[in-house]
Amino acid sequence: MRRLIRRLGLYLLAVWAAITVNFFLPRLAPGDPVAALQQRLQQRGSFNPASLDALRAEFGLNTNDPLWLQYLKYLNNLIHGNLGVSITRFPASVGDVIGQDIKWTLVLLSVSVLLSFSLGTLVGIFMAWNRGTAFDTALSSLMMFFYSILYPWLAIVAVYFLGFNLGWFPFAFGYDTSLTPGWSAEFIASAAYHAILPALTLIVSTIAGWMLTMRNSMVTTLSEDYVLLARAKGLSSRRVMFAYAARNAILPSVTGFAIALGTVVGGQLLVEIVFSYPGIGFDLFQAIQGQDYALADGILLLVIVATVFMNLIVDLLYTILDPRVREGRSVSA
Amino acid sequence: MMDSRETTGITGTAITGDILLNVRHLSVDYQADAGDVHAVTDVSFALRRGEILGLAGESGSGKSTLAYALARLLRPPAVVTAGQVLYSPGVERQAARTSVHGGRRGRADGLDNAPLDILRLTPAQLRAFRWNDLAIVFQSAMNALNPVMTIGAQIVDVLAAHRPELSRGQRYDRAAELVRLVGIAPDRLISYPHELSGGMRQRATIAIALALSPDIIIMDEPTTALDVVVQHEILTEILRLRAELRFAVIFITHDLSLLLELADTIAIMYAGRIVEYGARRELAGQPRHPYSYGLLHSFPNLRGPRRTVLGIPGAPPDLRDVPPGCSFHPRCPFAFAPCSTTLPLLRPATTQTSAEEHQQVACHLYDPAFAPAPPAEELLAAGYAALVRE
């Protein structure tokens, strides 16, 4: 328990440090977002110079305040759950933008990451179990090939051939835009159909990593004496494979899995850009282009919190999975 | 019953139980591109019920490979190239097995007492044979126990695999009984391996080995990683359990001094072959093979008279390319003409064939065809002493 509290403190510290960097970094970059907004509003013809200062204050970009005061105000806003107003999506608040788009990212990425991890790990187990066979050798080489493919290339190839040329899958947006979003069967089917291609490319590009990690880790545990002993005990192959070899080999993969889950929340910039997917990653891309500090800050904050949170989960998971990291456990006499 | 005399040449042992295991002309190779490694070559011996057979030799002499071959645990590239391992379960065991396992190892030929060749068991027979009849205790108890399972779970899973008729409660009761038997408190069943000391872990692996009351337990350097005090405790424990449960032990070690405390019979291996075999007393009293002599005098004796501690110069041969004739001849202080041309086979060390004499040695010095009379012990001593002086 004390260990947990110490850990929590450490994670809070990490979040604070990240927020601080997050705040200062864009403000040290050149460019004035309000000027950019001013331009945009002028184009719409609804610009009133008197409201500029009000806008600055609203966006937390009141450059009349010294930076440290801006920082404190920013922290204060954060604590109250106020992430500010988006510049590019004005007048929507950052919280609303994120709340609306995160669903897309969460569903697409969590399904892909889960599928990729579980499938890759399972196949990796069988590869290690049958190491040296034609199955293992062929799949290992194939996976090395997949592993070295650059994701944007794969995604563009998929969009071009499967989407554009063959027309099997839609290759842009999260759903058929002629439908109204809602819980109708038609809409859900459309959303699922649109998700196939991005999910597929994601799985193909990440599954090799899971497979090879698990395979290599398990090849190591397979040569351990406890696996030999399990075999000598006359246990079924399935039990030796899973309860003894794989159970010990999966520990390194769990860390990687948590990191992957952490990125789920932040979205995959490249996926969402290539597929024009209405998720958080696409928002971040637009926010950076439009110098939308508030939105970029909000999304990065979300990524940080998610990553830290996933790390915490892994910490807890590890204490369940690996009794050796449990502390202060004593046998009751 | 097999006629073991004809095949192994053994003319009687101090242990008078039935022959449990009869190993005949067993050879194991590690197949490699650079040439096959002949890890075990033409090894024959018999193991009787309740006997502790010590298998000694330096690293790479093939003793562990031999043990793994007996347990059918060799993994590629290791391959058994020749031989038989005949296992003869006792009559009661045979009967109990057919009643409990309902003909799981039913025999097509109807010969219920004919020995089983372990190397030719079907997968189903092998699964039943493992741990029921032959269990193993590994060298390093830390790595031999699954780090993420409790000791209790690792005992219980043997019982779950082999005694499905037992209820969960009965399995845990049996597990508690087993750890108590090896001197561990049953509340330790919920401990993980890393929470136990080295000696406790080794006791736990012995408890796992005893789970199904096997006939044979192979112990591969079970005490090597332990300090001498714990080592002694474990050895005492093994002797006590053997007396209580009457299992036979094949005890593998590079430490001949351990075997002098523990074993009934000792086999000395060199370069994949057994070069000397005999009762402990005979071997301790008068080692015949020049290699055994060197090995036995390579550590100080605590109880006997003062003697010079000897070393055997040189290193064991490359097992891909074993020297012709006797593989020990390049290192042997007594090598003479036939040693580099003719392979010595195990033969009685002395010409008198009294009932107690069954020490066997694979050395031309004891072959009347090559040497007029076996060498006196003083000669062996003098030969090694000369090496030390050089």
Q: Structural domains in chain A?
A: 2-79 (no CATH), 95-325 (1.10.3720.10)
Residue of B nearest to A233 (CA): B131
The whole-angstrom separation of Cα B181 and Cα A193 is 63
Question: Distance from CA of residue B130 to its chain's centroid?
Answer: 17
The whole-angstrom separation of Cα B75 and Cα A131 is 12
Confidence of residue B302 (pLDDT cuts 50, 70, 90): low
Note the pLDDT of residue B218: 93
Note the pLDDT of residue B151: 92
pLDDT tens digits along A306-332? 888 888 888 888 888 888 877 654 443
- Residue A333: which of B145, B187, B194 has the nearest Cβ? B187
Q: Is the pLDDT of residue A66 over 50?
A: yes
Q: Which residue range is the domain that position B374 belongs to?
A: 305-389
The whole-angstrom separation of Cα B366 and Cα B290 is 11
Q: How far is CA A313 from CA A4, A12, A217, A319, B372, in A?
A: 11, 14, 22, 10, 80
CB B278 within 8 A of CB B349: yes
Task: Enumerate residues 6+ apart whose C-beta is below 8 A from A225.
Answer: B138, B139, B140, B143, B144
Judging by beta carbons within 10 Å of its beta carbon (0-12, 13-18, 19+), is residue B321 exposed, middle or buried?
Answer: exposed
Please indicate whether, in this complex, the C-beta atoms of A234 and B130 are within 8 angstroms of each other.
yes
Q: Which residue has the higher pLDDT, A22 or A141?
A: A141
The whole-angstrom separation of Cα A159 and Cα A146 is 17
Region A256-270: what's the mean pLDDT? 77
> Tokens in use for B160?
């779950």
CB B273 within 8 A of CB B326: no
Residue type, B281: R
CB B118 within 8 A of CB B218: no
Residue of A nearest to B149 (CA): A323
Note the pLDDT of residue B109: 42
- Residue B157: which of A239, A322, A333 has the nearest Cβ? A239
Beta bridge partners of B87: B21, B116
Q: Which residue has the higher pLDDT, B244 or A66?
A: B244
The whole-angstrom separation of Cα A275 and Cα B369 is 89
Confidence of residue B8 (pLDDT cuts 50, 70, 90): very low
pLDDT tens digits along B358-388? 788 888 888 878 877 777 777 777 777 776 6
The answer as to whether B80 is a domain residue is: no
CB B280 within 8 A of CB B260: yes
Task: Enumerate residues 6+ apart whose C-beta is below 8 A from B269.
Answer: B43, B55, B56, B57, B61, B62, B63, B66, B275
Nearest to B339 by CA among B371, B312, B315: B371
Note the pLDDT of residue A46: 63
Range of A271-275, A293-297, B179-183 with top mean pLDDT: B179-183
Q: Which residue has the higher pLDDT, B1 or B98?
A: B98
Min CA distance, B231 vs chain A (Å)? 20
Confidence of residue A1 (pLDDT cuts 50, 70, 90): low
Min CA distance, A329 vs chain B (Å)? 9
Chain B residues with beta carbon closer than 8 angstroms to that of A236:
127, 161
Please tell me if residue B136 touches chain A, with a CB cutoff of 8 Å.
yes
CB B39 within 8 A of CB B305: no
Please indicate whether, in this complex, the C-beta atoms of A331 and B195 are within 8 angstroms of each other.
yes
The answer as to whether B294 is a domain residue is: no
Min CA distance, A217 vs chain B (Å)? 15
Task: Enumerate residues 6+ apart whose C-beta is below 8 A from B140.
Answer: A225, B224, B225
Work out the angle between the directed axes of helices B151-162 and B198-210 (0-180°, nearest 10): 10
The radius of gyration of chain A from alpha carbons, rounded to an integer in Å, stands at: 24
Q: Is the pLDDT of residue B293 over 70?
A: yes
The answer as to whether B344 is a domain residue is: yes
Please list the alpha-helical segments (H only) found in B272-375.
Answer: 280-285, 290-296
The whole-angstrom separation of Cα A262 and Cα A89 is 26
Chain A residues with beta carbon closer than 8 angstroms to that of B158:
233-235
- DSSP3 helix / strand / coil % (chain A, rounded to 5): 75, 0, 25
pLDDT tens digits along A85-132? 777 777 778 888 888 888 888 888 888 999 999 999 999 999 999 988
Q: Which residue has the higher pLDDT, B146 or A51?
A: B146
Beta bridge partners of B220: B252
Q: Is the pLDDT of residue B130 over 70?
A: yes
Buried b (16+ CB within 10 A) or exposed e, B249-269: bbbbbbebbbbbebbbbbbbb
Q: Which residue has the higher pLDDT, A51 or A141?
A: A141
For this complex, say whether ipTM is above 0.95: no
Please list the alpha-helical segments (H only) found in B196-255.
Answer: 198-210, 228-245
Please tell me whether residue B265 adopts helix, strand or coil conformation.
Answer: strand
CB A210 within 8 A of CB A120: yes
Q: Angle at Cα A113 formed by Cα A108 and Cα A116, nearest 5°?
A: 120
Please indicate whether, in this complex, the C-beta atoms of B136 and A229 are within 8 angstroms of each other.
yes
The answer as to whether B358 is a domain residue is: yes
Beta bridge partners of B80: B28
Region B8-22: what's the mean pLDDT? 58
Q: Do you know the residue count of chain B?
A: 390
The radius of gyration of chain B from alpha carbons, rounded to an integer in Å, stands at: 22
- Residue B136: which of A224, A232, A243 has the nearest Cβ? A232
Best B118, B148, B184, B187 residue to mutate vs chain A (most A CBs within 10 Å): B148
CA A287, A291, A295, A296: dihedral to nearest 10 degrees?
80
Q: Do you know the residue count of chain A?
A: 333
pLDDT tens digits along B131-169? 988 999 987 666 889 999 999 999 999 999 999 899 999
Please indicate whether, in this complex, the C-beta atoms of A229 and B148 are within 8 angstroms of each other.
no
Min CA distance, A222 vs chain B (Å)? 11
Range of A160-164, B43-47, B91-95 with top mean pLDDT: B43-47
Note the pLDDT of residue A58: 65
DSSP state of B217: E
Torsions phi, psi of B84, nearest 5? -135, 150
Q: Is the pLDDT of residue B100 over 70?
A: no
The answer as to whether B81 is a domain residue is: no
Residue of B nearest to A319 (CA): B148
> Tokens in use for B161?
């695999």
CA B146, B147, B152, B157: dihedral to nearest 10 degrees?
-30
Please indicate whether, in this complex, the C-beta atoms of A235 and B194 are within 8 angstroms of each other.
no
The whole-angstrom separation of Cα A35 and Cα A14 is 33
Nearest to B156 by CA among B133, B126, B140, B179: B179
Please tell me whether residue B147 adopts helix, strand or coil conformation.
Answer: coil
The answer as to whether B72 is a domain residue is: no
pLDDT tens digits along A187-206? 788 888 888 888 888 898 88
> Tokens in use for A182?
């809602």
Size of interface A-B (CB pairs under 8 A): 80
CA A93, A98, A99, A100: dihedral to nearest 10 degrees?
90
Please indicate whether, in this complex, the C-beta atoms of A331 and B188 are within 8 angstroms of each other.
yes
> Tokens in use for A160?
């071009």
The answer as to whether B335 is a domain residue is: yes
Note the pLDDT of residue B353: 56
Please tell me if residue B230 touches chain A, with a CB cutoff of 8 Å.
no
The answer as to whether B374 is a domain residue is: yes
Q: How many folded domains does chain B comprise?
A: 1
The whole-angstrom separation of Cα A38 and Cα B348 is 107
- Residue A226: which of B127, B146, B162 has the nearest Cβ? B146
Note the pLDDT of residue B135: 92
- Residue A332: which of B129, B187, B192 has the nearest Cβ? B187
Confidence of residue A62 (pLDDT cuts 50, 70, 90): low
- Residue B161: which of A235, A244, A332 has the nearest Cβ? A235
Please tell me if residue A321 touches chain B, with a CB cutoff of 8 Å.
yes
Residue of A nearest to B71 (CA): A232
Min CA distance, B187 vs chain A (Å)? 7
pLDDT tens digits along A273-291? 888 888 888 888 888 887 7
Please indicate whether, in this complex, the C-beta atoms of A225 and B129 are within 8 angstroms of each other.
no
Please tell me whether residue B95 adopts helix, strand or coil conformation.
Answer: helix
> Tokens in use for B122?
């079907």
The Cβ-side half-sphere exposure at B305, using a 13 Å CA radius, reads: 2
pLDDT tens digits along A126-161? 999 998 889 999 999 998 888 888 888 888 888 888
Confidence of residue B91 (pLDDT cuts 50, 70, 90): low
Note the pLDDT of residue B170: 92
Please tell me if residue A128 touches chain B, with a CB cutoff of 8 Å.
no
CB A213 within 8 A of CB A256: yes
Q: How far is CA B146 from CA A1, A127, A240, B137, B149, in A?
A: 26, 21, 11, 14, 6
Look at the alpha carbons of B330, B333, B339, B340 in this order and tell me if their dihedral is positive or negative: positive
Please tell me whether residue B109 adopts helix, strand or coil conformation.
Answer: coil
- Residue A225: which of B129, B138, B192 has the nearest Cβ? B138
